[in-house]
Amino acid sequence: MTGQLKDHLRLYLVTDPQLCAQTGIVETVRRAVAGGVTMVQLRAKHATTAQRIDLAMALKAALQGTGVPLVINDDVTAAVAADADGAHIGQGDIAPDKARAMLGPDRILGLSCETPQTVRDADPAYVDYLGLGPVFGTDTKTDHAQPTGFDGLADLIALSSLPNVAIGGLKPDHIDGVLASGADGMAVVSAICGQADPKAAARAFHSFKPEHKT
């Protein structure tokens, strides 16, 4: 599971329905997957659970047959109702043990960690991967924590054996720095959502190939 999950984490598209509005979230995801995206998150911060379920069902249909997992941000109820592949939660969201109880043993659970203590506290009994950041400041998440930079990211990665994905202000120019930090994946929003050509935007990350990849 861990090796396969690391492969999925390699280029992780976190979708923002507002940012994707021009192309549409489903079409953005379709094109981004054609460009090499390996995992997708529905992050609809202003939606209701019912709206998230509808969006998740549409994304699931678009992802069918691709092998690309769909994870729902914040809303474990929506993840289960839509039969998504998993959920992503942060430190201020539902507790990991409660999320795991709702998701069951097989769905993916991701947890955001911004500090050494939160990384140490992430319990592999409940959590499958860590979202680490923000690496850089970003307008996409206005309430983000202090950026870690590449050195801070490497320090967080060293504290846990859980698979991880770096997030926050990441662009193709950062591929070498993220690789050197030891991350398993790069998670991006604005580098793909809202770009005129989501497929080309995803392709620009193709050289991100962590060590465990053959």
Ligand X SMILES: Cc1nc(C(=O)O)sc1CCOP(=O)(O)O
Ligand Y SMILES: Cc1ncc(COP(=O)(O)OP(=O)(O)O)c(N)n1
Q: Is 112 in the site for ligand Y (CB under 6 A)?
A: yes
Q: Pick the closer one to Mg ion by CB: 93 or 197.
A: 93
Distance separating alpha carbons of residues 22 and 90, to the nearest angstrom: 28
Q: Which residues bind Mg ion (CB under 5 A)?
A: 74, 90, 93
Q: Is 152 in the site for ligand X (CB under 6 A)?
A: no
Per rule CB under 6 A, count of chain residues that contact ligand Y: 16
Q: Is 195 in the site for ligand X (CB under 6 A)?
A: no
41 is in an annotated binding site: yes
- CA 98 from centre of chain: 20
Q: Considering the complex, what minimum distance in angstroms separates the CB of residue 29 from Mg ion?
A: 20
Is the bond preceding residue 134 a cis peptide, omega within 30 degrees? yes
| H helix runs in the chain, sequence order | 2-9, 25-34, 49-63, 76-81, 96-103, 116-121, 149-157, 175-181, 198-203
Among this protein's residues, is 43 annotated catalytic?
yes
* Helices vs. strands in the chain: H and E counts, helices first: 9, 8
Distance separating alpha carbons of residues 46 and 24, to the nearest angstrom: 16
Contact 26, 56 (CB under 8 A): no
Q: Pick the closer one to Mg ion by CB: 31 or 88.
A: 88
Among this protein's residues, is 112 annotated catalytic?
yes
Among this protein's residues, is 141 annotated catalytic?
yes
Tell me the β-bridge partners of 129: 110
| Residue ranges in contact with ligand Y by CB under 6 A | 12, 14, 41, 43, 73-74, 88, 90, 93, 110, 112, 131, 141, 165, 167, 187
Show binding-site residues.
41-45, 73-74, 93, 112, 138-141, 169, 189-190
Catalytic (active-site) positions = 43, 112, 141
| Residue ranges in contact with ligand X by CB under 6 A | 14, 43, 112, 131, 133-134, 138, 140-141, 144, 167-170, 188-191
